[in-house]
Structure 1
């Protein structure tokens, strides 16, 4: 459920982009009252601009709801919000979708750096171990392997984002941003869970 909540802003981005031409003119007029926003109802080229505004608002709401439920803000959500505000503002100011495209790659590469850097700071434990060790016990080398797999996954995802964005149509990229990223992430999470579970069971048997 939490993973689905993490993808809430991306779903909003996708829906606004797909149905921009059907949005009530009043919504466009309301959006045009905001700084940097200047949209024309029904203009296909403005769909990505409205979708960018939508994902910014959705991410702000995501952080607010998370805080109201858990009384704390999640670091990954905050990092995503900061980058989104930066690249989203540039997208709206210059009316150029390339900025929001690059945001996806930059945040994935930043996450790769965070996962890798976690092995060299503080307790010098992989970020994966810090996040999951209370629920699962596996040998230390396994945590490092899984952490490195996450690093590789984020790097590849960032590269794939650029390949799709600049090798295919804008609509194809929007589809990839939701279905491609979501599908690849779920497959990777399942594969990681099976890998960790296999080693957790082996550890228990050794005892």
Structure 2
């Protein structure tokens, strides 16, 4: 359930973008009606209407996501705050400058922030983020905890590079597909493979 909750803005972005691609005049009409005051110069290229509408919907979804947690007095994870701030900055820049460059950079910046968090925590603050989350459920050798943290840092770094490659070497449509696949396919697959590898080390706590 938490996975779907975290994925909520990404799914809305994908669905809205796909709708916009198939209904460009309608998407442009929505941009002119609701976003013109936020767009530099007041006008934008109709070809960018799908990405602008999708970005606007994502911004609203992210605000609703964070607000729902705060209203219910639930803890907002640090990574969710980081994601929220980045989408606000890069999504806002996408709309204001009516350029898809910013929103395409957003996943990479987010991935590299996560990578940097793991590296800094482990080597500067001597704290293992994965261990902090999982230690109550499982026990692993110290070296395995360290390798696990580095594996996640490496994963986020590679995904950041891959996002840049897909974003600027292929069409926006291909990038949008990759963005969704990376969240619902690649990341879960990485977790499954990692879990299978770690199963021989795990000692469940009483």
Give the TM-score normalised by the residue count of structure 1.
0.86
Indicate the larger mover: 101-110 or 28-37.
Answer: 28-37
Q: Is the 8 A contact 1:157 1:181 kept in 2?
A: no
> Structure 1 residues 151 and 25, CA, compared in 2 at 3 Å: closer, same or farther?
closer
Shift of 1:84: 1.1
Indicate the larger mover: 150-159 or 179-188.
Answer: 179-188
Aligned pairs for 1:36-51 within 5 A: 36=39, 43-51=46-54
Counterpart in 2 of 1:195?
197
Shift of 1:34: 5.5
> Structure 1 residues 24 and 131, CA, compared in 2 at 3 Å: closer, same or farther?
same
CA deviations 1:22-56 (Å, max 9, x no partner) are: 7688855652365338577x934211011111111
Shift of 1:77: 1.0
Counterpart in 1 of 2:88?
85
Q: Secondary structure at the match of 1:105?
A: helix
Runs ≥4 residues deviating over 6 A: none
Instruction: Provide the alpha-carbon RMSD of the alignment.
Output: 2.4
Give the TM-score normalised by the residue count of structure 2.
0.87
Shift of 1:8: 0.7
Q: Which runs of 5+ in 1 are unaligned?
A: none
> Structure 1 residues 82 and 50, CA, compared in 2 at 3 Å: closer, same or farther?
same
Query: How far, CA to CA, are the matches of 2:192 and 2:37 in structure 1?
Result: 41
Residue in structure 1 matching 2:162, options 160, 163, 166: 160
Query: How far, CA to CA, are the matches of 1:148 and 1:176 in structure 2?
Result: 24
Number of residues paired by the alignment?
A: 201
Counterpart in 1 of 2:55?
52
Shift of 1:121: 4.7
Counterpart in 1 of 2:4?
4
Query: How far, CA to CA, are the matches of 2:92 and 2:196 in structure 1?
Result: 40
Q: Which runs of 5+ in 2 are unaligned?
A: none
Aligned pairs for 1:54-69 within 5 A: 54-69=57-72
Counterpart in 1 of 2:177?
175
Q: Secondary structure at the match of 1:125?
A: coil
